Amino acid sequence: MKPVILVVDDDPQVLRAVRRDLLDRYTADYRVLAAASGRDALATLDGLAAKDHEPALFLVDQRMPGMTGLEFLLEAAGRFPDAKRVLLTGYADADAAVTAINRVRLDHYLTKPWDPPQERLYPVLDDLLSDWRAGRPAGDYGGVTVVDVFPSPAAHALRDFLARTSRPFRFLNVETSAEGARLADEHADAELPLVLFPDGEALSAPTSGELAARLGIGAAANRPHYDLVVVGAGPAGLAAGVYGASEGLSTLLLDADVPGGQAGTSSLIENYLGFPAGLSGTDLARRAVIQARRFGAELLYPVRAVALRGEGSARIVTLADGAEVSAEAVLLATGVSYNKLDVPGADRFDGSGLYYGAAVAESESCVAQEVLVVGGANSAGQAAVHFAKYAAKVTLVVRADSLEAGMSRYLVNEIRRTPVIEVRTRTRIVRFRGGRRLEQVLLRDDRTGRVAAEPAGFVFAFIGARPRTGWLDGVVARDPNGFVRTGPDVPDAPGARRPALLETSVPGVFAAGDVRSRSVKRVAASVGEGAMSVSLIHGYLTGTPAPASAPPSPPGGRGRRAVR
């Protein structure tokens, strides 16, 4: 069965017109169903649920008698939380749209009339349906199958890689799935986890790099020398890739993991300009990758940079496999990694109950489970709200006296109005317990000193971050915490020129985003720095004066070549 688009409107003329436009565009890939009221639409959903068939998108009129569009979406979201939601409104319904964004995670709203659909309807729905398909398990829609026991750190790493690269897949537990057990028996000589492809090929216990190679990701660089090499493909690196390539620089992005960086593990980013309903870190990264490639940037991952050196005017980046790429300029945008929990049992359950970051690949595993989220900043709050859609209970464990100490007001308000989330302030985890998998944690109340056991099958930790700069020891100046110094923060050297605002202690090597000392740890700030760095790199390549904080370079101190 094709996935379903459900349109709901009480006006017969409008309903016919919307359905006609949807059939013209989407009939090859979707079933378009129509309902003349919210109640009729709920009956349609009951029929879909009975056939275990999930809708992809709801397009619903707000002003309907008996049940408004918002009221229908509240009901529908409880049944099909992953379907995309679009509200049809009049010009006077802006308040209803904002309410829907807050209450049901509305993805978009369209004002009537939507003509011409080629400009005002299809681009919006194409984008949302692309997001929906990117997050679907393989099922009938094609993709790979991962077979293993659950939980398994190795299988989690593969599933997380597939989820964050928007590759459709499904997971079969050999202990609970007859099909999974059969596939494991058919490949008895293979080591688990087993990865199966639609063409019948199987990989035995592959690494993420081996899986990436099979999927056609991470081929070798197309040229030996670039204008710009960006190390790290988080928000700052991706922004630099977009702006560098669009400005005519030959640009290569390298990432040790998956594009998106720490932001890519966020379940929902709600305060990023231009996305009133928010977007996931995975969606942000996917969109940015497409944009960068559209302008001609190359992207290699997972490939790890292990050394940086200069040879004349070139900057050489050495990769873990021994390969080298050179460039006129290098941007360090390696971001940060979440700190590990240093308590008994943490290492044992890492990847099999304890996860660092939102680990959205585990969302469906959390259905009706007890989930703990550790941390008091926005990432933890976003994760708590996300997992509340699946879990029976979410406990947010915070060391501070209150959520307000480190979390944005909008998240604090949303957490407080989500009934399945319990907040435990001045509390910390002191031990993990379980058999083959995590079963409970011991929590210590710092106010009383009392330690109590709490059931937990899943713990997601967001407890601060450390920069990924160990490979830069002795290469660029860093602060005591390992963050890269740039511009006015670079230590003075007698007779040396002052670096540009985002330039490091090494001429031609720049830094942007969370890896930079004293940076603002926000997605928008990282994107801005990534874009700004390209302007500064242009100045370096062409020998033009550096802006604002740094005086002009002495003659011959910078430009080595003209930019194409």
Question: Do 139-214 and 346-463 come out as alike in CATH topology?
Answer: no
The order of strands in the sheet holding 370-374 is 354-356, 458-461, 370-374, 393-397, 421-424
Per-residue pLDDT of 144-174, as tens digits, reads 999 999 888 999 999 888 888 878 888 999 9
- Residue 283 is predicted with a pLDDT of 83
| CA quadruple 314, 315, 319, 324: dihedral, nearest 10 | 0
Contacts of 207 (CB under 8 A, 6+ apart): none
Overall average pLDDT of the 503-528 stretch: 95
Residue ranges per structural domain of the chain: 4-134, 139-214, 225-327+466-542, 346-463
**Distances, alpha carbon 129 to alpha carbons 39, 80, 109, 124, in Å:** 24, 15, 15, 9
- Judge whether residue 484 has pLDDT over 60: yes
What confidence tier does 548 reach under pLDDT thresholds 50, 70, 90?
Answer: very low
In CATH, which superfamily holds the domain spanning 4-134? Answer: Response regulator (3.40.50.2300)
**Do the beta carbons of residue 274 and residue 127 sit within 8 Å?**
no
Q: pLDDT higher for 294 or 99? A: 294
Give the dihedral sign, CA 130/135/140/145. positive
**Do the beta carbons of residue 37 and residue 10 sit within 8 Å?**
yes
Token code pair at residue 130: 């692309």
- Residue 555 is predicted with a pLDDT of 35
**Do the beta carbons of residue 5 and residue 59 sit within 8 Å?**
yes
- Judge whether residue 554 has pLDDT over 60: no
- Judge whether residue 391 has pLDDT over 80: yes
Contacts of 108 (CB under 8 A, 6+ apart): 85, 86, 87, 124, 128, 277
Per-residue pLDDT of 240-279, as tens digits, reads 999 999 999 999 999 999 899 888 878 778 888 888 777 8
- Residue 550 is predicted with a pLDDT of 43
In eight-state DSSP terms, residue 137 is: B
Per-residue pLDDT of 446-471, as tens digits, reads 999 999 999 999 999 999 889 999 99
**Residue whose C-alpha is closest to residue 281's, from 469, 464, 131, 394:** 131
- Judge whether residue 92 has pLDDT over 70: no
- Residue 114 is predicted with a pLDDT of 79
Query: What is the spatial distance between Cα 382 and Cα 265, in angstroms, rounded to a whole number?
Result: 11
Angle at 390 between CA 386 and CA 393, to 5 degrees: 90
In CATH, which superfamily holds the domain spanning 346-463? Answer: FAD/NAD(P)-binding domain (3.50.50.60)
- Residue 364 is predicted with a pLDDT of 81
pTM for the full predicted model: 0.80
Task: Write b or e for each residue in 270-293: b if 16 or more Cβ atoms lie within 10 A of its Cβ, otherwise e.
Answer: bebeeebbbbbbbbbbbebbebbe
Other C-beta atoms lying within 10 Å of the C-beta of residue 459: 24
- Residue 552 is predicted with a pLDDT of 38
Per-residue pLDDT of 394-428, as tens digits, reads 999 999 999 999 899 989 999 999 999 999 999 99
Token code pair at residue 501: 């605002």
- Judge whether residue 55 has pLDDT over 50: yes
Averaged pLDDT score across all residues of the chain? 89
Other C-beta atoms lying within 10 Å of the C-beta of residue 549: 14
Q: Identify the bridge partners of residue 434 per DSSP, sorted by sequence position.
A: 438
No. of H helices and E strands in the chain?
15, 26
Is 77 in a helix, a strand, or coil? helix
Backbone phi, then psi, for 243, in 5-degree steps? Answer: -70, -35
Per-residue pLDDT of 216-233, as tens digits, reads 886 678 898 999 999 999
**Do the beta carbons of residue 469 and residue 477 sit within 8 Å?**
no
- Residue 564 is predicted with a pLDDT of 34
Amino acid symbol at 147: V
Query: What is the spatial distance between Cα 418 and Cα 121, in angstroms, rounded to a whole number?
Result: 32
Task: Write b or e for each residue in 373-388: b if 16 or more Cβ atoms lie within 10 A of its Cβ, otherwise e.
Answer: bbbbbbbbbbbbbbbb
In eight-state DSSP terms, residue 58 is: E
CATH-assigned architecture of domain 225-327+466-542: 3-Layer(bba) Sandwich (3.50)
- Residue 365 is predicted with a pLDDT of 86
- Judge whether residue 549 has pLDDT over 80: no
**Do the beta carbons of residue 279 and residue 268 sit within 8 Å?**
yes
Burial of 43 (0-12, 13-18, 19+ CB in 10 A): exposed
User: Could you give the percent of the chain with pLDDT greater than 70?
Assistant: 93
Q: pLDDT higher for 498 or 33? A: 33
Q: What is the CATH number of domain 139-214?
A: 3.40.30.10
